[in-house]
Structure 1
Amino acid sequence: MRPHLSILALLVLFGLSPLQSFGLSSRHPCLTLTAEDAALIRENLGKYPLFDAAYQAAVTRVETALKNPIDVPQPKDAAGYTHERHKRNYLEMHAAGFLYQVTGDARYSAFVKAQLDRYAELYPTLGRHPAANKQAYGRIFWQSLNETVWLVHVAQAYDCVYDTLAPADRGRYEKNIFRPMADFLVNTQIEEFDRIHNHGTWTATAVGMIGYVMGDEKLVRQALRGSKMDGEFGYLRQIDLLFSPDGFYCEGPYYARYALMPFFLFAQVIDNNQPEMKIFEYRGGLLGKALDATLQQSWTGGAFLPINDALKEKTYHTAEMVLGVNLTYARLGHDARLLSIAREQGTVSLGAAGLEVARAIAIATGPLPAYPLHSVELSDGPDGKSGGLALLRFGPNPAKDSLAALKYTAFGMEHGHYDKLQFIYYDNGREIIPDYGAARYLNVDQKFGGRYLPENKTYAKQTVAHNTLVVDETTQYGGSYATAENEHADRHYFDAGDPDFQVASARDTAAYPGVAMQRTTAMVRDARLDYPIVVDVLRAVSGKKHRYDLPFHYEGTFLAINAELARNTTALAPLGKKHGYQHLWLEGSGETSGPVRFTWMNGSRFYTLHAAAGASTRLLFTLAGANDPNFNLRPERALILRRDAAEGGTVFTSVIEPHGDWNGTTEVTYGGTPVIEEVRVLAATDEGTVIRVTGKNKLALTLMFSNRTGDDAQAAHTLVAGEETFTWKGNAAIRR
């Protein structure tokens, strides 16, 4: 982590002497919209289609609300009517405040006032929300996080209509709503406020925004520097500690998407009020890097890689990412490549940045440059030294590209999963080797109030739910969050300079005490193959005997396997009793001492998993859903390669080969059988691993990977295997 900044250093950063006041402005609006912004928008309505569409959507929302009675219900549920009604209220107030500033129509300001009148009556009567669970509770909502989102939106509405309100009304709203809510967030929920976490970011942003509106310097200072105003917590500390220098957000892209909204919103507020802080330049323009890193962690349709607690429905089309794209373009260099993302998103944010993006798209001549989604390694940790995430891509079309991801990050706080050296693979616009993501149905009241389901802990977080090594049928770190949060895997090397041979390698020695793991993943393109293949080598070294399970969760239809299986067609039993195994039905099993070749079909393409011969390997085909009385788990299948290995450890070497095409419309199929015929491990030592892939059309690939500690692109390696001697320079090499 970065060294703590002293109070004096922080004051210098703010451009303040110890006694100098912030000098907060008394003008309104002063948050995300200024009077100048409103005038600019008013002058340009009807000129730029993307902005006009977003503007009209706001008009429709508010005009519909004006036709219906205001409803500010007594809070009752976690994801039912009252929860959704209060969400609609803050969205409607936010839109109405904006429309008032642009149009001057008093109906809009009156609507905001009428809502605030009702909340001024309700809020003083509220205690702990009746549906509160173990999370930090709220009053209007079941958790205080939702309360902060409410305040972020309503603070902007209040700011926009501030000058239309009588002093007595402002006094009542601040006495009955805003000050007690800020006090609740800063003091009652201080553990959330002083927390390096997306909850802390939202809370600091909410408190800071209402502080700016009310001209409350203390609230603004607390938002920026934590409850004690000493710089240990607060908004700036969140930027320092939650992102790596590459912009990777520690909880993964799903929560990066969510956290970027308060980060960007409050940056805009700070920049509008205290431009001397140069907040968009902080940590070398970190917010722009964070947006790019989050975009890089997306695949077909803008969906984010579902690592850690993630829902697969979220994409970069969400409002949070729209805001981030717009503000990054407007305030961090006008990168024209962002315009292609904005056009794909199909909307812009309501503000000056959204208008600027819409104008740039409207006046562009010729095609917009594509945003470069490319092979990249993203470091984790504030100093970039807590592992990372490697993304290997091949192909010119992000909708169809091959994408292999190797995850060796830190745990990711309480939303992290026990999945060190996890592997995920996409191809042809589809999930091929997927990650389960989170067990949750967001805002579906029938599913545990929309909260994380119990199976999120008992299955989705467990190691066996991921495509990584499980030792002795136990979860990494023994399933201990306290242990996992203080550990991370380590990068070994990454090289994507040759698009036809891209390699990433990582190590871990802490997930299973006494077991050292190294995983090397390569994407290889060869003219004799239909598509790029993925080569995967996972080496485990230990001085003791262990059972090693390597799951490959797969999407698609089982076609064939070159082994005899005993299939459980009349009765199923769970594979185990704990560590996620209790949720896996064992559908079939077999054993082989030779190479494994498993083929399945996904969409229009065939896939074959080739696993090298080794010690006796047991094949376990599983289906998620055992011990799941409420049918919470998705019925996803996996092939688990199981080995009981003596002292020394084992090496799992696999190749995933996409091949052929199936067209159900024309009834034409080709390439249904793989080109690759054999994968062999020629050597696996502390010096390196050498494997050979052979097949039809005289295919012969020899791949050599360094197992030495450290990244050394100039190191010379020599390895003798039988009568062959292999020499290469650098971390990895290929002979065709």
Structure 2
Amino acid sequence: MEQWDRLLFDYRFDGPGGDWWGVKIIDFPLGGGMQCTWQLADGKSLRPGEWQTAEVQIHSPTWLWGDKPDEQGQYLSFRYQGRPDARPAILIDNVRVVRDAFRLETVKPLGTRREGDRTVARYEARIANRQDTPLTVQAEVRTAEAGLRVEAPDEATVGAGETIALPIRLSAAADGEGALPPLSRVSTEVVFRVKGEKDMDKLLQLDLTVPLSEIPHPCLLLTREDVPEVLARIEASAECKAVYDALKQGADAWLTRAPEYPDRGSQWWHWYTCKACGARLTTKSPTEHVCPDCGAAYTGWPYDDVVLDRQHGALANAVRDLGLMYVLTGEAAYAAKAREILLGYAERYLSYPLHDINGKPGKGGGHVGPQSLDESTWLIPVAQGFDCIRDTLSPEDLQTLAEKLLLPAAQLIRDHQWGIHNICCWHDSAYGLVGLALEDGGLIFDAINGPKGFHAQVEQGVTDDGFWYESAWGYHFYTMMALQPLAVAARNVGIDLYTDRYKGMYDAPLAFMAPGGELPAFNDSGTASALGQGSMYEIAYACWADPRHLLPILQSGRKSLQTLLYGVDLGETQPFALGSALFPGAGYVVLRSGATGEGRADQHLPENYLALDYGPHGGGHGHPDKLGFVLYGRGKLLAEDPGCIAYGNPAHGGWFRQTLSHNTLIVNGKSQKPCTGALQFTAFGDGLGLCSARADEAYDGVRLRRSVALLGDRLIDLALAEARRESTFELAYHNRGLLECALPFASLPEPPAGDGYSWAKEWRSAPAPDAWQAVWRQEGGPTLTFAQAASDAEREVLTAIGMGNPTKIKVPFIVSRETGATALFCSAVEITPGEPVADLDVRVLPIEGAADTNERPVAVEVTGGGLRDIVLINPAGGTLRAGGIELTGRGAALRYRDGALEQTVAVGDAQVRVVAP
């Protein structure tokens, strides 16, 4: 396809339209062998039943997709995206390619600057004559936004087989009436055509971004005006003095040290795990990498390349720290050493091969790191240090560093700015900081106001309750870390990005936290701490003065660079209580009960905690675990979600991302499909909480519902599965500790068939025709008694040992299994400080009065330890009777102690009446 210029074809959709319609071509050397992709229409422009003509500019793909070039493949494909149930007939006819007389080969931006009273952006368009006779090319401004003046040659002659450069000048008023505000962008469309010819237009879209009127330097980490405040903190605070002394000591060490640059870029840290047991490796030497758990040793690629990230990272941080010391002390030696490291990278950067996590020159890779993500985390401190010493650099140094280091890195990253994602937040900060350091308005605009810029990330990626949409706490904090450098730098130049929605990201962990300030390991995350990120809350508290933000600062200690640069005097903490809560944007319900603790966080937190996940899948970092939960009891983690380990380890996909490893329902041994569930109701009382949710798209033809109640130290769990055909249903429950169960277990010769089952060890099975119990005991922790009601179906209970997180923790779990068209698993969990509750019993109650067949009502009674609890679930509403209780409404939970009704919680305006003692 390289020799052709345009692809044309006619098409018609018969049936429902779609969301996306386009073309993909692979034909090396076109696009360097990547997947050249064009979007031709979206849901608004597709017109079902009507023939339309598509025209593709072959040498101007919208995207280059794929993880590596394909130099052998040749194909043309048509791509359609629509609803899963949409199956339109797509007719394609009259496919043809056209070779034009001329080609618009490249468009080179030459920069934006002020010229007199106007802001001017200059471009150079290269036009190639592909004929053996001269031709005349004309330029026409088709559209130009208000306030934009466009100047281009009316026409130019191009000799046979020659290529010429045509200048294009865009300008807008910089002052007075009609002047555009800083960081506004205006666009134009310029058409090139051969004089006298039709149907050969080449459309060029250009824009002018109005730069900030003035950018003081430094501005990325701090400004000159901030320096006296920082020096005052050093004098007044022992903590800040310690941070400064460590900063100075590290920078001083670099003054006499020759920079040692790796001879290549680094590799993906997710490769750096033991293939045998999943543990992260320990570096014994640059070529020796050892598993600390099983002793396995590794060498060569990718392991030797992974650890190069430490060298690259140390050099980048050195540039930042040396630059900071120059700003704080004015000593030129610090600036000189930072300059030396920067120029050394400028000599090498573009010579480092572009590579991805597979070592190939793939899209989304980097020169220093294997991903544009790694390139971003490396570039941010490089840009910050450059900005600090900018005033010491000669014009020649500035040009060298801009053209050979900063701009190529920023453009590589910006060219892969693909969506609303934690990685793209790092992208924004990386090329946004370069834009501010080099006063490049286009980079600044894209990073802040662009379609995937800071504002878009926060508005589209942060839910109404403050969660980052990927619903993994590790990535929530990682995204906060990504956004903060740009937010700080923008504030230093007068752009306030500290919106209420952005503040929500700081508030959400403190509202969701479990005992000890822990955050559950949902999706691709380990167990995180809401209180372990004090450094990030320094700037948050300085901006918003929210007393809750003091918790992580006080818990972490004020030992960070952020304390030195942004720390303010701390106010008084204020008491607050965290009870049960709904997080509808992220799709979680948190139930809390029990006494509060004595720690800095636990004084605000009840000791029992359950978090139920019913909401959005979580994108690429989501797990198939709808209606799964995490349980803490008496301040300790009991029923865990394993989260994730390094993605390069086989166990990550084999175990950690399978439904079996979570506390939820499984159908026919298969993992759930990615889906979003739906909340049915919640009811919160004093020490009591009740909720119910569904996930009807997790499996084809299967409806799942889970209702849970937390009453003091007791959890009651009602899990219902209903299928159109006979299926095998399983309820998995994982709990830390030693498992005891009196059922007559027999070892299985091999693991059951299904997704993830082979990763668990020591499988055993026993029949469970009646109600049964199991006990988990934790050394130094609480005891958990698990009881499950008898079932009308034939039930089997399996046990095995699963992988925890870290992987050296082995978590025993149970799987309750039965086969049929429906299954109802009614269970209770009692948390005690010592011995188990021997008389814990769960009984399904007969129901009178419920008539809705679409929403099966359920009533259970749980007794033991002098307590009697009744839970009534009736999502369809109406009146039912069970266990001597009449409910008019959707749900209720009641607690009796020593025979007397003690507490009741009901959904909404539901009415509960005792009709029999």
Q: TM-score, normalised by structure 1?
A: 0.82
Amino acid at match of 1:659: T
Amino acid at match of 1:660: P
Kept in 1, the 8 Å contact 2:797–2:814? The answer is yes
Structure 1 residue matching 2:519: 3-state secondary structure: coil
Match 1:688 to one of 846, 857, 860: 857
Q: Give the corresponding residue for 1:617.
A: 795
Match 1:328 to one of 520, 536, 540: 540
Alignment partners' CA distance in 2, 1:240 and 1:732: 37
Q: Give the corresponding residue for 1:307.
A: 522
- Post-superposition shift, 1:81? 3.2
- Post-superposition shift, 1:68? 3.7
Q: Give the corresponding residue for 1:279.
A: 497
**The structure with more helix, counted as a fraction of residues:** 1
- Where do 1:413-562 residues align within 5 Å? 413-440=619-646, 451-477=647-673, 484=674, 487-496=675-684, 498-525=685-712, 532-558=713-739, 560-562=740-742
Structure 1 residue matching 2:397: 3-state secondary structure: helix
Cα deviations by residue, 1:337-362 (Å, 9 ceiling, x for unpaired): 322320101125535786434x226x
Q: Give the corresponding residue for 1:410.
A: 616
Matched, 1:215 2:439: yes
Alignment partners' CA distance in 2, 1:293 and 1:337: 11
* Between 581-590 and 542-551, the greater mean CA deviation after superposition: 581-590
Amino acid at match of 2:385: A
Structure 2 residue matching 1:642: 3-state secondary structure: strand
Cα deviations by residue, 1:51-104 (Å, 9 ceiling, x for unpaired): 333333323333344454322212354244311111122222222222222222
- Where do 1:170-181 residues align within 5 Å? 170-181=398-409
Cα deviations by residue, 1:573-632 (Å, 9 ceiling, x for unpaired): 2222x4112222343210112112101101332111111111322110112379xxxx97
Q: Structure 1 174/95 Cα, relative in aligned 2: closer, same or farther at 3 Å?
A: same
Match 1:636 to one of 805, 811, 823: 811
Kept in 2, the 8 Å contact 1:340–1:370? The answer is no
Q: Compare relative contact order (CA 8 Å, sep 6+) and give the higher one, 1 or 2.
A: 1
- Post-superposition shift, 1:140? 0.6
- Post-superposition shift, 1:336? 2.1
Kept in 1, the 8 Å contact 2:209–2:445? The answer is no
Q: Give the corresponding residue for 1:360.
A: 570
Kept in 1, the 8 Å contact 2:788–2:841? The answer is no
Q: Structure 1 296/33 Cα, relative in aligned 2: closer, same or farther at 3 Å?
A: same
* Between 234-243 and 675-684, the greater mean CA deviation after superposition: 675-684
Alignment partners' CA distance in 1, 2:349 and 2:708: 55
Q: Structure 1 58/299 Cα, relative in aligned 2: closer, same or farther at 3 Å?
A: farther
Kept in 1, the 8 Å contact 2:690–2:893? The answer is no
Q: Give the corresponding residue for 1:63.
A: 252
Kept in 2, the 8 Å contact 1:654–1:679? The answer is no
Alignment partners' CA distance in 2, 1:242 and 1:213: 27
Alignment partners' CA distance in 1, 2:446 and 2:613: 36
Amino acid at match of 2:730: D
Alignment partners' CA distance in 2, 1:96 and 1:706: 65
Kept in 2, the 8 Å contact 1:117–1:173? The answer is yes
Amino acid at match of 2:325: L
**Percent identity for Structure 1 against Structure 2:** 24
Amino acid at match of 2:588: L
Structure 1 residue matching 2:777: 3-state secondary structure: strand
Cα deviations by residue, 1:470-489 (Å, 9 ceiling, x for unpaired): 00111112xxxxxx2xx311
Q: Structure 1 73/15 Cα, relative in aligned 2: closer, same or farther at 3 Å?
A: closer
Kept in 1, the 8 Å contact 2:470–2:618? The answer is yes
- Where do 1:580-619 residues align within 5 Å? 580-602=756-778, 603-614=780-791, 615-619=793-797
Kept in 1, the 8 Å contact 2:180–2:210? The answer is no
Q: Give the corresponding residue for 1:149.
A: 377
Gaps in structure 2 of 5+ consecutive residues: 1-18, 20-42, 45-144, 147-178, 187-207, 270-305, 897-917
Alignment partners' CA distance in 2, 1:389 and 1:374: 14
Q: Give the corresponding residue for 1:201.
A: 425
Matched, 1:377 2:582: yes
Q: Structure 1 556/262 Cα, relative in aligned 2: closer, same or farther at 3 Å?
A: same
Structure 2 residue matching 1:263: 3-state secondary structure: helix
Q: Structure 1 274/73 Cα, relative in aligned 2: closer, same or farther at 3 Å?
A: same
Kept in 2, the 8 Å contact 1:504–1:521? The answer is yes
Structure 1 residue matching 2:236: 3-state secondary structure: coil
- Where do 1:566-585 residues align within 5 Å? 566-567=746-747, 573-576=750-753, 578-585=754-761
Structure 2 residue matching 1:119: 3-state secondary structure: helix
Matched, 1:255 2:475: yes
Kept in 2, the 8 Å contact 1:659–1:674? The answer is no
- Post-superposition shift, 1:159? 0.9
Amino acid at match of 1:343: L
Amino acid at match of 2:759: H
Cα deviations by residue, 1:636-683 (Å, 9 ceiling, x for unpaired): 3211111112x3x1211111111133xxxxxxxxx3444634443444
Structure 2 residue matching 1:488: 3-state secondary structure: coil
Cα deviations by residue, 1:676-710 (Å, 9 ceiling, x for unpaired): 3444344497263211111233x2211222322xx
Alignment partners' CA distance in 2, 1:544 and 1:494: 31
Amino acid at match of 2:661: A
- Post-superposition shift, 1:213? 0.7
Q: TM-score, normalised by structure 2?
A: 0.66
Q: Structure 1 658/135 Cα, relative in aligned 2: closer, same or farther at 3 Å?
A: farther
Structure 1 residue matching 2:729: 3-state secondary structure: strand
- Post-superposition shift, 1:205? 1.4
Larger CA Rg, structure 1 vs 2? 2
Alignment partners' CA distance in 2, 1:604 and 1:621: 22
Structure 2 residue matching 1:311: 3-state secondary structure: coil
Amino acid at match of 1:690: A
Structure 2 residue matching 1:270: 3-state secondary structure: helix
Q: Give the corresponding residue for 2:588.
A: 389
Cα deviations by residue, 1:124-144 (Å, 9 ceiling, x for unpaired): 211223754588322111222
Alignment partners' CA distance in 2, 1:26 and 1:129: 34
Matched, 1:97 2:337: no
Root mean square deviation of aligned Cα: 3.0
* Between 31-40 and 53-62, the greater mean CA deviation after superposition: 53-62
Cα deviations by residue, 1:443-484 (Å, 9 ceiling, x for unpaired): xxxxxxxx531221222111111111000111112xxxxxx2
Alignment partners' CA distance in 2, 1:296 and 1:65: 43
**The structure with more strand, counted as a fraction of residues:** 2
Kept in 2, the 8 Å contact 1:53–1:347? The answer is no
Amino acid at match of 2:348: L
- Post-superposition shift, 1:563? 1.9
Alignment partners' CA distance in 2, 1:70 and 1:429: 49
Cα deviations by residue, 1:488-514 (Å, 9 ceiling, x for unpaired): 111222233x13211222111111121
Q: Structure 1 554/352 Cα, relative in aligned 2: closer, same or farther at 3 Å?
A: closer
Number of residue pairs the alignment of both structures matches: 647
Structure 1 residue matching 2:655: 3-state secondary structure: helix
Matched, 1:167 2:382: no
Gaps in structure 1 of 5+ consecutive residues: 381-386, 441-450, 478-483, 526-531, 662-670, 709-715
Q: Structure 1 181/15 Cα, relative in aligned 2: closer, same or farther at 3 Å?
A: closer
- Post-superposition shift, 1:12? 10
Q: Structure 1 135/167 Cα, relative in aligned 2: closer, same or farther at 3 Å?
A: closer
Kept in 2, the 8 Å contact 1:75–1:83? The answer is no
Q: Structure 1 473/725 Cα, relative in aligned 2: closer, same or farther at 3 Å?
A: same
Alignment partners' CA distance in 2, 1:429 and 1:172: 57
